[in-house]
Structure 1
Amino acid sequence: MRPSTMSAYNRLPHVPDCTCSVCWSRREMAKPVRSRSTPCALCRPAYARPTRTLQMGRVAGIWKPLLSEWKVEPAFICEKHTPPARPPKYWSVIYDSGKPTPFVPIYEPFELVG
């Protein structure tokens, strides 16, 4: 094919139900994906808020709380969004024969006594 014919071929529109890799990738990228970091309705961040003011004072001519009691609400992360306790296991031990025995090369021949 000549270059002009090839570029004209590449610009042809695809049919609506095309199954080529370009159209498939375009459809997959258009799908909304919820990432693991997106919080769900069960997850909530930690927050702290003052519940009672114990002492007030004037700071630069404005009354402000100097000492307060605070209520701290810990964060909650659902099981789906909780990170694993350890990294994933990529390999496993098939047979554990105990402590490894170091290899010591013998340079001199010997005879068994006994």
Structure 2
Amino acid sequence: MLSKYVRQPHAPGCDCSVCWSRRELGKPAASQSTRCTECHPTRVFTVVTTMALVAGVWRSIHSTYRVEPGFTCAKHMPALRPPKYWHVVYDSGKPTPFVPVREPFELEG
């Protein structure tokens, strides 16, 4: 019976969790990729490099670097917690287990 449902295509307007996740992951993250005038990445510049002849080849044996720290504005700062994907649509209280009745019965005592 389960094999009847496995690998079946979803309807075009399907709102199940799988289709919803595909739609959300397919959307471009405009706020994370869009650059603004305030944001800039961290950059590293080589200031001084000491070269030496090693085995007949000139190689860098020592370098001094200058680091320009980056900055991310509040708009593009990632959230402290991940986005909320799942939510409760209707909370009807405590779950009630379903017990199928195969034969009629009478309560005792």
TM bucket by the smaller chain? Answer: 0.3 to 0.5
Q: TM-score, normalised by structure 2?
A: 0.43
TM-score by length of 1: 0.42
